[in-house]
Structures are given as C-alpha cells and as structure tokens.
Amino acid sequence: MVRGFSAKLKEVTSGEVTHLVIFKDNEPAAVLVGVEAYQALQDELEDLRAERLAIERLSTLDKQNTVSLEDMEARFE
C-alpha cells in the first residue's frame, strides 16, 4: 500500500472502485472510501437513526396532547 497509495487513492476518488479494504497481518484493518461515498453513508445512517427515533416515539404518543400540523402552522403565521 505504501508504494502504490497514490494510484489506489486515485482509483477510489475517481469512482473506478467504490472502496478498498486495507489489510494488516492478513486481517481487515481499515476501509478507504471517497468523500462522496462516506457522506452518503453518513446521511443514510442519520436518516435511519431519525426513523428509528420516530418509530420509538410513536409508541408513546399521547394523542390528547398532540397538535395537528395545520394548528402548528397557524401558530407561526
């Protein structure tokens, strides 16, 4: 990897390959991904966490104290 890093980095950043797994002592040690792929993974993870939180909150929703979207919008007009 040391001698060919520049070429491998170019492969990832150009989109020629999506990722590279870097091994140390015959074991996976790290993954090299481009910035766009990393950001896409981060965005997807954030979306999944928000969805999980919404699902958890729905189970404890108190319908007596909820406000409709229309009522909330009217409050801020």
Does 2 have pLDDT greater than 90? no
Give me the pLDDT at residue 66, please: 87
Per-residue pLDDT tens over the stretch 42-60: 999 999 999 999 999 888 8
Q: Are 17 and 7 in contact (CB under 8 A)?
A: no
What does the pLDDT look like over 18-46, one tens digit per residue?
999 999 999 999 999 999 999 999 999 99
Residue whose structure tokens are 């950001």:
39
Please enumerate in sequence order all residues whose Cβ is within 8 A of that of 9, keeping only pairs 6 or more positions apart, or say none.
Answer: 32
Distance from C-alpha of 54 to C-alpha of 48, rounded to nearest angstrom:
10
